[in-house]
A and B are shown apart, each in its own frame.
Chain A
Amino acid sequence: MKGTYLGEFEEVVLLAVAIRSGDAYGAAVTSEIEQQMGRSVNLGAVHSALHRLEEKGLVNSQMGGATAERGGRRKRLYSVTIAGKRALEEIHQLRNQMWESIPKTAWS
């Protein structure tokens, strides 16, 4: 199904949400990705990916607490749903399976 297909960037975002689990909101997810991947990422792109993930039912969200540096605005905290977890596992498994299918001769 097209709707459940996970794009590369979406996968990264979903992983970052999982890493930051419990404190995964827009800015935090972005810095996580930036740290992990070592390149700068657009906040807008992350946000829109998060929305898409939520639409696909891979994450859900609730409004969380506010901090001073946010100007008193609340954050939206995302957490990976069971479906999200399953999707990540599936990808992981798929990759492993493919890794294992590479013949040794390929590297020589």
Chain B
Amino acid sequence: MSRKDQPPRWLDRLLERFCTPNLWEEVQGDLHERYQLRIKRTSKTKADWLYFRDIFSYLRPSIFKRRHSPKPVLTDMLRNYFLIAFRNLTRQKAFSVINILGLSVGMACSILILLWVQDELSYDRFHTHADQLYRLTINASGVDAAITPVPTAALLADKLPEIKNTVRLHSDTHILGVGDRKFEEEGIYYADSTFFDVFSFPLVKGDVRTALNRPDGIIITERMAQKYFGQEDALGKTIRKDNQDELVVIGVLADIPSTSHLQFDFILPMSFLARTNYDLKNNNWNNFDFYTYIQLEDKTNTSPTSLANLEKRIGKLIEKNIPLRVDFKLQPVLSIHLNSHLLRDVAGNGNIQYVRIFSVVAVFILIVACINFMNLATARSAKRAKEVGLRKVVGADRIQLIGQFLAESSLISFISLLVAVVLVWLLIPFFNILSDKQLTLNFLDTNLLLIIGAIAITTGLLSGSYPALFLSKFQPIKVLKGNLTIAGGGSWLRNGLVVCQFVVSIIMLVGTTVVYNQLQFIKQRNLGFDKENLLYVQMTGELWSKQQAFKNELKQNPLTQNFAISLDLPTNLATGVVDVFWEGKNPQSQPLFPTMAVDAGFIDIFKMKILSGRSFYPDSKADSASYIVNEKALQIMGMNISNAVGKSLTFGGIKGTIIGVVQDFNFKPIQQSIEPMLMHLNTWGGKVIIRTQPNKTEATIQALESIHKKLNPAYPFTYHFIDQDLANLYKTENRMGDLFNAFAVLAIFISCLGLYGLSAFIAEQRTKEIGVRRVLGASVGNIVYLLSQNFTRLLLLAMVIATPLAWYAANNWLEGFAYRINVDWTIFLISCFTALGIAAITVSYESIKAALKNPVKALRNE
């Protein structure tokens, strides 16, 4: 029959689509028969049309319904797989618990780390123009800093068409008060009126466009509105700044997201600062004290080369205004949180290194957990061998068996996932305390759900892959004959996996030890001064004008008489000058000298050591042109301790002499090495530092408070401790150390869980052997030795592999510190023996249990 008198094919295909398969043949046949009949009687077009109508008359449920179709074999088999999986789970409760516990703890760790990493990576992404935002940073004399001179922003905005907006920020501390309630507030920024164009901090009350136009306005966060005004509407209320300026609340901001690198509570207009600030009044190019943020035009090419080009043009524009050689850099705002460790940077930045370390840790922990599963599954394979044999005999092919075992591991993996999610939910509050974050498990976050799902599936497939391939390989005839010796084949891989696990565990142990030692080292390191028992008070308000009276009061009380007045503290010094000149200075070089303005008591109070010369004389105006330098400065200036004193030195245009050399001391976090230091006499004020007598700190504080109340009643009394300030510098390191410890413990726990399962299994397998040995006179010790020696060998191998890896990783981390511990062999020895000890305890528990069993019981049952 020719194609011509066939009905249109697409109609046939349509029918094929919707018609149930077992009806399709007859229906199609009948349709065709009628079509042929019609084509003979009428035209083809008519027949085609009627065919079309007929097909559509078949659009009825009885034709769609797959009523009589037999169930596909697959679903029955799937049900069987899950049934067997469940039976296996319930039959071997101990192993199932070990498996699921190990996997879920591993997953919970990974999910927590994932949440943490996600949070760290999400900083500043909430800004609408996040991709166009840059901060202008400088590099001068090899030092990177986040600050720029005041006029930079206006000049660039004027000259460069790529720049859409700029905003300058200046951070400050003020006393703010409403009525009698006064607080010292640190989170204050002065900002240009473009602030809300550049950044996307949402205003809850007030008008974004006019928010910063009013010079006596102040914008506060909701948190602060609550703190100062309680339930009342803050808008339009006044806040008194430093007891003199009345500021009107013109806007209330939503609380600043924790994922913002800028953390603040108050915004004041730059125009307010401009009334008093010298730099702003005079457009001073010589002082670097402002953050400059730049918003580029939307379509600006932001490839590295064009940015470098832009930086060069910025440099050219500014060059003629500054005497210094300074390179300008555009730092993407998105990278500030993780990649910025500059001088005068905002506080609280993270570290990309920790994000990397913890991502690796998460993967490691998950691998360790998967290895457990694989090991236990292969070890127990003998028990499943008969099942595999039987399945093969009745016609299962290998693919089906692989599918079965993968389904089984996926099932376990999903059960573990559920447990893990519950664990995460329970642990998140503690994790938040440990990591100082506000993480939540948000189930509406599809990204998170996808990733968690992916973790479960990967874990399932990964941990199921080896057992699946291994078990499905069995030859039915060998298995069913009953003399299968599996232990030989899979054992090298099993051993390899155990080694792998312990390599990870040992690396993490070494890591923990190194981190702990380094943190101890930081705490105990001799900084070049005695940081204990030092407290300081910021000179505020009237204390400046009543300085002499203040000093007299302090001197009169034996508790407070040991004091010094300094502008700066040697905790995290952030200033530096280049206008230091000495005889024989190379005019080309521009070394940066951090400086401190200190008084006569300073060196004594801090118990620093004068190596030669003297300290400043008390109340000596003659010392205004005298300088004290440190050893590092001597080195830079090409002098030595014996000849330095008496040499002339010019600083800030004032020619003077070096009167003393002080022993090097740390005035920055010890990630950075000591820089040349120049100390000059402090004639104005700053902070009053008091060395308290041991155990009299409380009394001293009270004495100070009463002096403060007497002289400076308008200001609240606050005090700080030097050692606490120092400890705060290493908050991130400490926090990361704690987290790392926690995860290391968990990794080792999971490894041991696996080891325990494995040793229990082997002890069980060798029950008869142990029985025979016991009957023939072996002691418990012999048996334990027999059972543990294999693991000991594996652990020794793991140590050999782990040591160089751990050494490399530890040194990599320590490179970030200018002053650090040496990674010596004792650390490795301690870590390895800890691992060995933990493993020995784990293994010996089951071994001793097996060895102590009455041999009669082991041998009786044939």
Contact = CB atoms under 8 A, between A and B. Distances in A.
B587 interface: no
A45 interface: yes
B58 A73 contact: no
Interface in A24-70: 25-27, 30-31, 42-45, 47-48, 51-52, 63, 66-70
Contact of A26 (B27, B36, B56, B59): B27
A105 B209 CA distance: 99
Give chain A's interface secondary structure class: helix
Nearest to B57: A44
B32 A30 contact: no
B1 A30 contact: no
Contacts of B34: 27, 30-31, 43
A75 interface: yes
B96 interface: no
B60 A73 contact: no
Given A26-B26, A68-B1, A73-B26, A44 B36 contact: no
A42 B51 CA distance: 10
A48 B57 CA distance: 10
A74 interface: yes
Interface in A56-108: 63, 66-71, 73-76
Interface in B1-41: 1, 6, 23, 25-34, 36-37
A76 B25 CA distance: 9
Interface in B239-292: none
Interface string B336-370: 00000000000000000000000000000000000
Interface string B50-63: 00011011111011
Contacts of A69: 1, 32-33, 36-37
Nearest to B34: A27
Interface size, B (range): 20 to 34
Contact of B25 (A31, A51, A73): A73
Contacts, number: 77
A75 B24 CA distance: 11
B650 to A, nearest CB: 107
B36 A25 contact: no
Nearest to B31: A43
Given A26-B26, A51-B62, A68-B1, A73 B57 contact: no
Contacts of A51: 62
A74 B22 CA distance: 12
A18 to B, nearest CB: 19
A43 B57 contact: yes
A32 to B, nearest CB: 12
Contacts of A25: 26, 29-30
Of the candidates A26, A31, A67, the one having the most CB atoms from chain B within 10 angstroms of its own CB is A26
Interface string B384-427: 00000000000000000000000000000000000000000000
Contacts of B58: 43-44, 47
B54 A73 contact: no
Given A30-B34, A68-B1, A47 B27 contact: yes
A27 B30 contact: yes
A74 B63 contact: no
Contacts of A31: 34, 37
A39 to B, nearest CB: 14
Contacts of B26: 25-26, 63, 73-76
B30 A42 contact: no
A71 B28 contact: yes
A66 B30 CA distance: 10
Given A48-B60, A48-B63, A74-B26, A43 B32 contact: no
Given A31-B37, A44-B57, A71 B29 contact: yes
B33 A70 contact: yes
A27 B57 contact: no
Contacts of A70: 29-30, 32-33
A73 B32 contact: yes
Contacts of A52: 62
Contact of B63 (A44, A67, A76): A44
B62 A74 contact: no
A47 B15 CA distance: 14
B495 to A, nearest CB: 62
B789 to A, nearest CB: 72
B29 A73 contact: yes
A48 B62 contact: yes
Contact of B33 (A27, A44, A45, A63): A27
Contacts of A66: 29
A107 B450 CA distance: 81
Given A27-B34, A31-B37, A69-B36, A42 B29 contact: no
Contacts of A44: 54, 56-60, 63
Nearest to A52: B62
A67 B27 CA distance: 14
A82 B56 CA distance: 33
B32 A45 contact: no
A43 B58 CA distance: 8
Contacts of A71: 1, 6, 28-29, 32
A47 B26 CA distance: 10
A80 B31 CA distance: 23
Given A70-B33, A75-B30, A43 B25 contact: no
A22 to B, nearest CB: 17
Nearest to A51: B62
Nearest to B36: A69
Identify which of B1, B34, B60 gathers the most chain A CB atoms within 10 Å of its CB. Answer: B34
B66 to A, nearest CB: 13
19 contacts: A25-B29, A26-B29, A27-B31, A27-B34, A27-B37, A30-B30, A30-B34, A31-B37, A42-B54, A42-B57, A43-B31, A44-B58, A47-B30, A63-B26, A67-B33, A69-B37, A71-B28, A73-B32, A75-B26
Interface of A: 25-27, 30-31, 42-45, 47-48, 51-52, 63, 66-71, 73-76
Interface of B: 1, 6, 23, 25-34, 36-37, 53-54, 56-60, 62-63
What 6 pairs across the A-B complex have the smallest Cβ distances?
A44-B57, A73-B29, A26-B30, A69-B36, A70-B29, A42-B57
